[in-house]
Amino acid sequence: MTHCPYCALQCATLLSGADAPSATVRPDPVFPVNRGGLCQKGWTAPEVLRAPDRLRAPMVRGPDGELTPTDWDDALDLVADRLRELRARHGADAVGVFGSGGLTNEKAYALGKFARVALATSQIDYNGRFCMSSAAAAANAAFGLDRGLPFPVSDLGEADVVLLAGSNPAETMPPLMRHLERPQLIVIDPRATRTAERAALHLRPAPGTDLALALGLLHLAVTEGRLDEDYVKERTAGFEEAWQQAVGWWPEQVERITGVPASDQREAVRLLAEAPRAYVLTGRGAEQHSKGSDTAAAFVNLALALGLPGRIGSGYGTLTGQGNGQGGREHGQKADQLPGYRMITDPDARAHVAGVWGVDAEALPGPGRSAYELLDALGTAQGPRALLVFGSNPVVSAPRAAHVADRLSALDLLVVADFVPSETAALADVVLPVAQWAEEEGTMTNLEGRVLRRRPLLSPPPGVRTDLEVLRGLAVRLGQPAHRFPTAPREVFAELRRASAGGRADYSGISYDRLDAGEALHWPCPEGDGAHPGTPRLFLDRFAHPDGRARFAPVDHRPSAAVPDATFPLLATTGRLLAHYQSGAQTRRVPALLAAAPAPFVEVHPDTALRYGLADGEPAVVRSAHGSVEARVRLSRALRADTVFLPFHFPGPGAANLLTGSALDPRSRMPEFKVTAVAVTPSVAADPTGDEAP
């Protein structure tokens, strides 16, 4: 048994086959998260194992500009020599590291350690910054602890009402819908998605106005007598300050800003407040904004006002996207964090982790740049001159994608470790082929904080190494002792346990033996005199702040960075499709998935199409202040007339993130993916020079 390589549900699967061509998968019928279900991506996951363009040898860019095969020693010697040279010339922060929410816990931990010990650089972050950072900032502030779902997924199946703000699990994680059959759903989304089609109530705010809507729902909870006063008094702090921000958001004001009728706002609050068991869940649609942290906090405020978090059968959570988005940030890939969810600026945290690593705490670097800021600084006088990328494809997935590609091209050295030639690998000076999910051992942490065992079916192909082997090979060449960077996942996990001990994300009581015995272990799971059972449900007695109380946050609505005007009169929002995952580097190599969604498109309301001369199936150009996208028009009444939608799985001229800008949330540093001011015109009317919008 192992787990699907895609989203954070981490559905349990049973793999079989003697080799990659014969590998097949079926769902585990008893695992409680997917309960015998898989989505299209899970069923076809073994297809990626046999991708015809699988990387099988290191590649180095030669004098002619072409990537050519070489052997491992030559490739690693070249990388290490260049890294030493750049560090000697420009300092340790001349080298950056960009990780992934798809890496196992062991690899995420080793990558953070490699950056801070072998490279001594502060410049490390990961693509999970684009996924969970706003929700994490809100949860840490409210509860003192950030875990996507502080309760098991299966609890949702017993709920009466579930509010989904900015999430479309019917397409992004379909097996989750098995747990959402019983509850009435309140869906907040500008599109009539497949999830919204199953909703008892669908609220359709204009993109970028979720925060105003959440404030309005809190306003109604208070003014219509639905505030859980005993809970607020006994288990929370800061209500009055938060209420002072929400007091002016009466329903008609919210309707004017968001477009959501006042009657629907009242019905949403009534459904939540009258339900014996209710949950408020947020997703990327609400969080990927320059005010995403405040938006997530506003939905937390609503949940606290109704007395939901920290009660069996009710709660607040966020739906983590990437497979190990949870574990990836807990163990050291984020610019400001050390293993165990310790903050890198905390002297005690630094001393503890340095002791485990056998280094001087003073030698550890401080916090570095967040993901987009790191990419934006590449190749500049103050930024890194080299970047090592593990398991990420920022040429497609990062905001302001054309600019990011330019910054990557300006580097003195770009090294990409991956298993297929992604669009980012195509720009690299050195490409290192690494093992896939079915070829490696390790652990993952799913969206409910459950630590899972990944087990290999196959050995990596000849010429392919694991990420742990790559990191040790480089570390030794950079002067580190080999024992400091073990390559056996079990050994790495044993060290991770020690490094996390006593931290907010404490894994010290979890072991491979316990996981292999079938124990369901959710962190925190500290080591003690006996075997700790793990913590499937957090906050039942107290929240993680010193006084045990949750915190309301005083937040207020503000406009998005991009506001429509005469030049860019429409709002564009981006999202996923059922057939694809993230940048599509894997799923676009699966014939059945590519056939289901072969090319980019721009979804447009028929009235909008009529106004701007657009026709169904015809090519169009979508322009923003940052760039332009070419895509065919797909007419849909599922959209608001002021909004267009683009999937973000496609590269080249159809890459949706050519449109998105560089505005960041001031707390989480989350880019504003979900709202961009655009114009859409038929391609025949496009500027023949091809110049980008000013």
CA dihedral 323, 128, 57, 80 (to 10 degrees): -140
pLDDT confidence of residue 288: 95
pLDDT, tens digit, for every residue of 504-540? Answer: 999 999 999 999 999 999 999 999 888 999 999 999 9
pLDDT confidence of residue 329: 86
Tell whether 43 is covered by a domain.
no
Tell whether 444 is covered by a domain.
no
| Token pair 């290192």: residue | 432
Which of 486, 504, 522 terminates a domain? The answer is 504
Instruction: Report how far residue 396's alpha carbon sits from residue 531's, in angstroms, rounded to the nearest whole number.
Output: 44
Claim to verify: residue 126 and residue 220 sit in the same structural domain: no
Beta bridge pairs of residue 388 = 97, 415
Give the three-class secondary structure for 291.
coil
Claim to verify: residue 499 and residue 577 sit in the same structural domain: no
Average pLDDT over residues 134-141: 96
Could you tell me the residue range of the domain that residue 266 belongs to?
133-318
Nearest to 76 by CA among 414, 474, 475: 474
Tell whether 284 is covered by a domain.
yes
Cβ(81)–Cβ(418) below 8 Å: no
Cβ(108)–Cβ(327) below 8 Å: yes
* Helix, strand and coil in the chain, % to nearest 5: 35, 20, 45
10 Å CB burial of residue 64 (0-12, 13-18, 19+) is exposed
| Token pair 């609220």: residue | 203
pLDDT, tens digit, for every residue of 28-70? Answer: 999 999 999 999 999 999 999 999 999 999 999 999 999 999 9
Nearest to 623 by CA among 661, 662, 585: 661
Claim to verify: residue 217 and residue 286 sit in the same structural domain: yes
Claim to verify: residue 205 and residue 171 sit in the same structural domain: yes
Claim to verify: residue 180 and residue 307 sit in the same structural domain: yes
Claim to verify: residue 213 and residue 270 sit in the same structural domain: yes
Instruction: Report how far residue 326's alpha carbon sits from residue 324's, in angstroms, rounded to the nearest whole number.
Output: 5
Structure tokens at 658: 């050519």
Claim to verify: residue 205 and residue 339 sit in the same structural domain: no
Nearest to 429 by CA among 63, 72, 124: 63
Tell whether 282 is covered by a domain.
yes
Alpha helices in 192-291 (DSSP H): 210-223, 229-235, 239-246, 251-258, 262-274, 284-287
Which of 318, 350, 382 terminates a domain? The answer is 318
Claim to verify: residue 144 and residue 209 sit in the same structural domain: yes
Nearest to 81 by CA among 389, 430, 362: 430
Instruction: Look at residue 690 and tell me whether its pLDDT is greater than 60.
Output: no
Instruction: Look at residue 688 and tell me whether its pLDDT is greater than 50.
Output: no
Instruction: Look at residue 694 and tell me whether its pLDDT is greater than 60.
Output: no
How does DSSP classify residue 217?
A: H
Instruction: Look at residue 685 and tell me whether its pLDDT is greater than 50.
Output: no
Cβ(197)–Cβ(279) below 8 Å: no
Structure tokens at 239: 């209500």
CA dihedral 256, 258, 262, 263 (to 10 degrees): 140
Q: What is the CATH number of the domain that holds 616?
A: 2.40.40.20
Instruction: Report how far residue 264's alpha carbon sits from residue 201's, in angstroms, rounded to the nearest whole number.
Output: 8
Claim to verify: residue 180 and residue 306 sit in the same structural domain: yes
Structure tokens at 485: 């960077």
Instruction: Report how far residue 614's alpha carbon sits from residue 680's, in angstroms, rounded to the nearest whole number.
Output: 8
329 membership: H or E segment, kind and range = helix 325-330
Claim to verify: residue 375 and residue 429 sit in the same structural domain: yes
Instruction: Report how far residue 202's alpha carbon sits from residue 200's, in angstroms, rounded to the nearest whole number.
Output: 7
Cβ(666)–Cβ(620) below 8 Å: no
Whether the model pTM is above 0.85: yes
Percent of the chain with pLDDT over 90: 96
Name the band, by pLDDT with cuts 50, 70 and 90, for residue 320: confident
Claim to verify: residue 283 and residue 142 sit in the same structural domain: yes
Tell whether 631 is covered by a domain.
yes
Specify the number of domains making up the chain: 3
Which of 318, 338, 372 terminates a domain? The answer is 318
Tell whether 558 is covered by a domain.
no
Beta bridge pairs of residue 15 = 25
10 Å CB burial of residue 685 (0-12, 13-18, 19+) is exposed
Claim to verify: residue 346 and residue 270 sit in the same structural domain: no
Q: What is the CATH number of the domain that holds 498?
A: 3.40.50.740
Instruction: Report how far residue 185's alpha carbon sits from residue 164's, in angstroms, rounded to the nearest whole number.
Output: 7
Instruction: Look at residue 687 and tell me whether its pLDDT is greater than 70.
Output: no
Return the half-sphere exposure (C-beta side, CA atoms, 13 A cut-off) of residue 348: 7
pLDDT, tens digit, for every residue of 201-219? Answer: 999 999 999 999 999 999 9
Average pLDDT over residues 94-109: 97
CA dihedral 455, 457, 460, 465 (to 10 degrees): 10
Instruction: Report how far residue 171's alpha carbon sits from residue 287's, in angstroms, rounded to the nearest whole number.
Output: 18
- Range with the poorest average pLDDT among 192-206, 315-329, 355-369, 469-483: 315-329
Instruction: Report how far residue 393's alpha carbon sits from residue 398's, in angstroms, rounded to the nearest whole number.
Output: 8
Q: Phi, psi at residue 85, to the nearest 5°?
A: -60, -45
Name the band, by pLDDT with cuts 50, 70 and 90, for residue 321: confident
Tell whether 549 is covered by a domain.
no
Neighbour-count burial for 86-96, b at 16+ CB within 10 Å, e otherwise = bbeebebbbbb
Nearest to 453 by CA among 489, 410, 403: 489
Q: What angle do CA 435, 655, 322 make, to 5 degrees?
A: 45
Q: What is the CATH number of the domain that holds 162?
A: 3.40.228.10
Tell whether 395 is covered by a domain.
yes
pLDDT, tens digit, for every residue of 429-481? Answer: 999 999 999 999 999 999 999 999 999 999 999 999 999 999 999 999 999 99
Instruction: Report how far residue 503's alpha carbon sits from residue 339's, in angstroms, rounded to the nearest whole number.
Output: 8
pLDDT, tens digit, for every residue of 617-635? Answer: 999 999 999 999 999 999 9
Mean pLDDT of the chain: 96
Instruction: Look at residue 686 and tell me whether its pLDDT is greater than 70.
Output: no
